């Protein structure tokens, strides 16, 4: 597994759960989303009614699940968790919806991956707090409307663009999470180090923060690897030396790019002369699924200016060539 992969495993989920901030006020970064969400929740509290449904979008590992849990905690409501891939039939969703208590928060992770009939059921339920339960089969089947108590859906997606418009429109509030700056990641890491009882120096924390590709999940993971390095080398403090050595060992370079990122840039520059090249061709060249390249590697490479997306495909910027120590063959963008 890549040390800077933003997806996660079961064991890691347990550690992550311990590191999640519980309240909005403890959540560093994403200030705009935090302020907007704070207002929405406070207004709902004063009205004593559930807030609008909330959609959280953004790359993996930036805090969507954490924020969903915070929403439930701030509303002092229980939270039910399910995900798009777990809902393959409208019946799966009907079962969840019909068991919700008044005011409950329903967290739907990867909501863009829900089956189409369930999507339709969901947006009717979000709008009218009602589902039609189909009883029987064939010509004798009848739809029995079932009233639901008001509840709040918190949807999370890495691909907001894939949601059908009628579903997207049912969310009264959409928060887009963006990559964190180094300062916010330092706050997150300092807090995590405290919770994990890891001794650290500001230099060590800074080094990890600046190589975590703006992602708290990756920052927390790198912190644990640097701690491992420090322990094995008989020093019990996460300092700059430990951070530099461990990050080199795990192939995370100074800009936080890892092997996949560099493979993408190398393919783009060396095999395709800097592009433009289509996403799927690029994915084949690095031996990955197009979806992995598109949701894991590309957003960060684009944001940092290594890759430019054009209508004709992906192109390498001057930065990409320079990062690989190569000279661009012709004038390039950026
Ligand atoms: P997502 O649902 O967007 O993939 P998560 O909410 O599961 O991301 O966050 C991944 C990990 O990063 C969790 O362990 C969480 O504690 C940590 N994390 C995310 N955002 C923050 C933040 N703003 N402050 C502190 N920790 C964070």
Give this complex's ipTM.
0.98
Relative to the CA of 188, which ligand 1 atom is closest? Answer: 25
Nearest CA residue ID for atom 15, ligand 1: 20
Q: Evaluate: CB of 62 within 6 angstroms of ligand 1.
A: yes
Query: What's phi and psi for 276, nearest 5 deg?
Result: -70, 145
* Both tokens assigned to 141: 């089947």
Nearest to 293 by CA among 215, 285, 180: 285
Nearest to 175 by CA among 188, 156, 161, 162: 156
Output DSSP code: residue 63: S
**Where does the chain show beta strands of DSSP type E?**
54-57, 79-83, 105-109, 130-135, 142-147, 152-157, 173-176, 199-200, 237-238, 307-310, 313-316
Q: Look at residue 4 in the predicted model and tell me its pLDDT.
A: 60
Q: How far is the CA of 6 from the centre of ligand 1 (A)?
A: 10
- Strands 142-147 and 130-135 come out as antiparallel
Q: Look at residue 14 in the predicted model and tell me its pLDDT.
A: 82
- Known catalytic residues are 64-65, 109, 158, 217
Q: How far is the CA of 114 from the centre of ligand 1 (A)?
A: 23
Q: How far is the CA of 197 from the centre of ligand 1 (A)?
A: 19
Q: Global pTM?
A: 0.88
Q: Evaluate: CB of 60 within 6 angstroms of ligand 1.
A: yes
Q: Evaluate: CB of 65 within 6 angstroms of ligand 1.
A: yes
pLDDT lower than 50: segments of the chain: none
Q: Evaluate: CB of 185 within 6 angstroms of ligand 1.
A: no
Q: Look at residue 21 in the predicted model and tell me its pLDDT.
A: 93
pLDDT in tens, 36-45: 999 999 999 9
Residue 329 CB coordination number (10 Å): 10
Nearest CA residue ID for atom 11, ligand 1: 217
Q: Evaluate: CB of 64 within 6 angstroms of ligand 1.
A: yes
Q: How far is the CA of 194 from the centre of ligand 1 (A)?
A: 16
């Amino acid at each position: 597994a890549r040390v800077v992969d933003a997806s996660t495993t079961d064991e890691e989920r347990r550690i992550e759960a311990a590191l999640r901030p519980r309240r909005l006020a403890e959540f560093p970064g994403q200030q705009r989303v935090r302020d907007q969400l704070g207002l929405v929740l406070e207004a709902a509290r004063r009205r004593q009614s559930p807030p609008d449904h909330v959609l959280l979008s953004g790359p993996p590992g930036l805090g969507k699940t954490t924020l969903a849990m915070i929403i439930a905690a701030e509303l002092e409501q229980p939270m039910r968790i399910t995900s798009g891939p777990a809902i393959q039939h409208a019946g799966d969703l009907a079962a969840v919806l019909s068991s919700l208590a008044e005011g409950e928060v329903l967290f739907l992770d990867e909501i863009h991956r829900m089956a189409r009939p369930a999507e339709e059921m969901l947006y009717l339920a979000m709008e009218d707090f009602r589902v039609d339960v189909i009883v029987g089969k064939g010509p004798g089947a009848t739809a029995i409307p079932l009233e639901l108590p008001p509840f709040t859906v918190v949807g999370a997606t890495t691909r907001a663009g894939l949601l059908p418009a009628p579903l997207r429109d049912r969310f009264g509030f959409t928060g887009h999470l963006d990559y964190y700056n180094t300062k916010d990641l330092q706050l997150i890491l300092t807090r995590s180090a405290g919770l994990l009882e890891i001794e650290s120096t500001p230099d060590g924390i800074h080094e990890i923060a600046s190589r975590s590709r703006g992602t708290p999940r990756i920052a927390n993971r790198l912190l644990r690897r640097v701690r491992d390095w420090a322990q094995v080398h008989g020093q019990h403090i996460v300092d700059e030396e430990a951070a530099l050595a461990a990050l080199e060992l795990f192939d995370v370079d100074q800009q936080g790019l890892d092997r996949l990122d560099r493979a993408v840039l190398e393919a783009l520059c060396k095999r395709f002369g800097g592009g433009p090249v289509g996403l799927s061709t690029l994915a084949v060249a690095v031996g990955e699924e197009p979806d992995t390249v598109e949701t894991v590697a590309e957003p960060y490479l684009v944001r940092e200016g290594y890759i430019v997306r054009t209508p004709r495909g992906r192109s390498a910027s001057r930065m990409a060539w320079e990062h690989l120590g190569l000279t661009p063959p012709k004038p390039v963008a950026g």
